[in-house]
Amino acid sequence: MKEGHFITFEGGEGSGKSTQLKLFAEYLANSGKEVVLTREPGATEVGKEIRRLLVEGDKDKFDEITETLLFYADRRINLTKIVFPALKEGKVVLSDRFNDSTIAYQYYGAAKFKNTEVMDTLYKVVAGDFKPDITFLLDIDVKEGLERSFKKAQGMENKELRFEKADISFHERLRNGYLELAKKEPERFIVINAAQEVSKVRDDIIKAYEAHQHKEERQ
Ligand code: TYD
């Protein structure tokens, strides 16, 4: 694999991907890698403003095109300000969510687009042929994930629940959508059972990453 690679963490609500991303970053740093963490939406100052528009408020406040355009605007900023410059310097970039989130949430979940043409076109505009080297998909039962997510939000004055408010079938569709994406691109996706204990999920991620690295080295 080339120096400087791009690894994304994906999953539904309450899958624990943000915790796991931090643990994986620690592991990489301990093995001597220079790591940069980013997230979508909202990794930059402008991105934070876009994030607030997207994750707060009424779940039906945007039509599907407006919502999708906002995610791609944020993605463009993330790529040009954080991801591309860090990769150029040979760093490993970990992103908490990336383009697969848009396919999972806005296409599969919301189920308002006939196909992914809008997303595919916008992706080309903001990213060209660039793709993540590895995508960890943290898969968990929808009810279990939502319970975790609401529990975490309790008492925290968390206003960022716009997507959690969608009905359960939205979350079922997006979970199955993610699994379909993983099936389509098995060389990029690594599916992890996120219902296990935090330390077991962490170990599974590291094991899968090391196996992936050995495979790359042999090629
Ligand atoms: P995130 O900060 O990862 O929240 P959480 O930790 O609750 O998963 O993402 C914020 C929300 O934005 C989340 O509900 C998923 C949603 N989202 C999309 O709908 N489409 C996208 O393209 C992205 C990047 C996120």
pLDDT in tens, 155-175: 666 777 788 778 899 999 999
Half-sphere exposure of 103 (CA within 13 A, CB side): 19
CATH of the domain at 102: 3.40.50.300
Note the pLDDT of residue 3: 60
Residue ID of nearest Cα to ligand 1 atom 16? 163
Distance between CA atoms of residues 179 and 192, nearest Å: 11
The predicted-structure confidence for 37-66, as pLDDT tens digits, reads as follows 999 999 999 999 999 999 998 988 999 999
Number of separate domains in the chain: 1
Name the residue of 99, 101, 102, 160 whose CB sits within 8 Å of the most ligand 1 atoms, as the mutation to test its pocket: 101
More confident residue, 213 or 181: 181
More reliable by pLDDT, 84 or 156:
84
Q: How far is the CA of 74 from the centre of ligand 1 (A)?
A: 12
- Residue 48: both structure tokens together: 């934070």
How much distance in Å is there from the Cα of 87 to the middle of ligand 1? 23
Per-chain mean pLDDT for the chain: 94
pLDDT at 155: 65
Look at the chain and count its residues.
219
HSE at residue 153, side-chain half, CA atoms within 13 A, is: 15
Collapsed DSSP state (helix, strand, coil) of residue 165:
coil
Residues with CB under 6 A from ligand 1: 13, 18, 40-41, 55, 71, 96-97, 101-102, 105-106, 163
| pLDDT tens sequence across 107-151 | 999 999 999 999 999 999 999 999 999 999 999 999 999 999 888
Residue 75 is part of which domain span? Answer: 5-218
Assess contact for 119 and 103: CB atoms under 8 A. yes
pLDDT score for 153: 76
Can you give the pTM of this predicted structure? 0.95
Residue nearest to atom 13 of ligand 1 (CA): 163
Which ligand 1 atom is at minimum distance from the Cα of 163?
14
User: CB neighbours of 107 closer than 8 A, spacing ≥ 6?
Assistant: 113, 116, 119, 177
Is pLDDT at 154 greater than 80 in this prediction? no
Beta bridge partners of 39: 96
